[in-house]
Every structure is written in C-alpha cells, then in structure tokens.
Amino acid sequence: MNEIATLFRRLTYGVYVVGVADGDQHNAFTAAWVMQTSFDPLLLALSINPEHFSYTLLKESGVFSVNVLRQGQLDLVRHFGCQSGRNTDKLAGQRWRPGEHGAPVLLDAAAYLECRVTGTMPAGDHELILGEVVDGGLLDPEAAPLRYSDTGDIDGSSALYPGKF
Amino acid sequence: MNEIATLFRRLTYGVYVVGVADGDQHNAFTAAWVMQTSFDPLLLALSINPEHFSYTLLKESGVFSVNVLRQGQLDLVRHFGCQSGRNTDKLAGQRWRPGEHGAPVLLDAAAYLECRVTGTMPAGDHELILGEVVDGGLLDPEAAPLRYSDTGDIDGSSALYPGKF
C-alpha cells in the first residue's frame, strides 16, 4: 500500500449498505463514506459514484436507506460491494423489507436510517447527497457496528490513491 | 440518552482537530464529521458550524488541516472542543507548526491532511466544506486513531437529538 493510501486509512469510518428503490426497481450497495452533517434538521451526507446503477434509482426516487452493518458481516460487505446491481437483484435471498418511505431495510443489520434527499453537490469523481433522516431504528441494540478498518482491502481501494500529492 | 441519539451512535467516526489560519490568526477545533468523498481529485468533506470562530478563518484563507487524534488523547478532544477560540489562543502551549499551505499541524497527532477549499454547501445547522487534500503525512505510523465512540458524551451531543422523527 503506498504512503497516501496508508495515510487515508487513518480516517475512521463505519460500513453501511445503502438501499435505494424506485417503483418496482431496487438495489443496495456497500458504502463507507457516510456521515451526519446537521442536528436540526437531522441530515446525513453520502458520497456516491454517479456511474453506479443505484445512483439513478436514488435520484429518481429521492430516498435512500443507510443500513449499519454489524461486526462479522464481511459476507454482506462483499455481496453488496463486489457486483453491479444493473443485471443482478442483489437483494434476492436477503432478509429485507421496504422502509416507511420505500428504501430497502436490511433486517440483519444492526440499525438503519431512512433519508429523503434534500440536496446534491458534485464532489470530484463522486457526488455528495444530502438527506434528511426521516425514519430509522435499532434492529439489534446489542450489535457492535462493523468498522471500515475491519474490512482490510476488500474493496481494493488502496490501489485508487495517487503516489504523491 | 434518547432513542434517536442512541441510533445515531451506530454511525462510526474518528476524532480530528481541524486547524485553520488566516494571516497571523489561527485556531483549531475538535470535529468528528469528516470523510473522504473522492479519489480523483482527492477530496474531503468537513461539516462545520458557521457560528464558530474557525469558520471565518477557514472561509477567508481557504485552507484547513485535519489532524488525526490517536487513542488516549481525550485531553486534546476536550481542549480543542470545549472552549471558543474567539478569546483564547487554543494552540498556545501545544506542539504545532504551520503546514505547507499555512494550516496548523499538531505534532502530537497520529497523522494530518492539509486541504484547500474547493466548494461549500449549506447543510442544515452546519455547512459542508469540500477540500482537496494537497499535503499530509503520518506523524506516528504506529499510532491507532481515536474513535468517536471512545469519547463517550464529552461533547454533550446526545442532548442535541430530537425525541422523535
């Protein structure tokens, strides 16, 4: 791993499965770039790759869910991270339900938040989505959240950093 | 702690001291709402309270640093989090130097990133600052980053969540 990749590993994240749905289409993908940005209103920011299939569904419907993975769920990190939803129903075979606002809620997650998009901003090779948290719940109050640092280099991201500033 | 505050504690963050400087003025404050948003260019997003003294310095100079605290540095969490920089030089007595682009680098941090502001976006009671990472370094390659969950309720944030959605 080069020096800049190593440096960026000092930033701390959780691991989430972001769920999206539009009409009878749905999808979900693994993400770490999620954070709260405001208390009043309660807002989250999500950084999403606009080339992903989920991006289109999210923009059309204006809702998304953030499902908090628990420690040990590396199988779900891989499942929702390592294939495209364009030709595969990644939610098939998973335990899930539509949330109050339509975004997929993973029943095996530790917790979930459901958000309604309030704004977007270009952010380099990604786009920042701002969402107001309109619903959510603890699915397992005892579960400890999975940390991004626990996932090693499952996502292959260490290769995406430049060699120098 | 109410249910919504408990729910939001399932999101995972690090703990950072964000440094700002403009001319001969400088300041630094504790923050958890920091994340990467892009690989190319290398961008970070920071959510900042526009009422803070540091906000003015950041907007004037267009640069900021993100200093990654290491495990055990709860004294620095409190020092940079629990007072205003408007009337106090919070960096006095700390080991620090100006970074390549002028933002304060804490020499006792685990690592730092220095950023140049590329965009801003209103985000409820905060503002999202996008910054291109233009410099940075590992100050102690062995140091494990402090996690926000290790800080308990030092910042008193549990009282800032609504009782229901």
Substitution target from A1, A4, A12, A160 for chain B, most B beta carbons within 10 A? A12
Q: Which of A16, A26, A15 is nearest to A103 (CA)?
A: A26
Q: CATH classification of A33-64+108-142 is 2.30.110.10, yes or no?
A: yes
Cβ separation A7–B43 shorter than 8 A: no
Q: List A27's β-bridge partners, or say none.
A: A20
Between chains, do B47 and A47 touch, taking CB under 8 Å as contact?
no
φ and ψ of B57, to 5 deg = -65, -40
> For strand A16-22 and strand A25-31, is the pairing parallel, antiparallel, or unpaired?
antiparallel
Instruction: Give pLDDT, residue B20.
Output: 98
Name the CATH superfamily housing domain B14-69+85-101+118-136: Electron Transport, Fmn-binding Protein; Chain A (2.30.110.10)
pLDDT of residue A21: 97
CB contacts of B148 in chain A (<8 Å) are: 12
Contact status, residue B103 vs residue B19, Cβ threshold 8 Å: yes
Q: Report which of B145, B144, B140 is spatially closest to residue B34, judged by C-alpha positions.
A: B145
pLDDT tens digits along A37-96: 999 999 999 999 999 999 999 999 999 999 999 999 999 999 999 878 888 899 999 999
pLDDT per residue as tens digits for the range B119-160: 999 999 999 999 999 999 999 999 999 999 999 999 999 999
Average pLDDT over every residue of B94-115: 98
Q: Which two tokens stand for residue A6?
A: 């190593």
Q: What per-residue confidence (pLDDT) applies to B54? A: 96
Q: What is the pLDDT of residue A110?
A: 98
Enter the pTM of the model: 0.97
ipTM of the complex model: 0.97
Supply the pLDDT for residue A82: 80
Q: Where are the alpha helices (DSSP H) in B20-162?
A: 53-61, 74-81
What percent helix, strand, coil does chain A show, rounded to 5?
A: 20, 40, 40
**Closest Cα of chain A to B82: distance in Å?**
18
Nearest C-alpha in A relative to B110: A10
Residue B158, both tokens: 């549990």
Mean pLDDT, residues B44-57: 96
- pLDDT exceeds cutoff 90 at A121: yes
Q: What is the pLDDT of residues B64-96, one digit of tens each?
A: 999 999 999 999 999 999 778 888 899 999 999
Q: How many helices (H) and strands (E) does chain A have?
A: 3, 9
Cα-based distances in Å from B140 to B25, B46, B68, B70, B91: 27, 23, 10, 9, 20
CB under 8 Å to B92, separation ≥6 — which residues? none
Identify the band that residue A159 occupies on the pLDDT scale cut at 50, 70 and 90.
very high
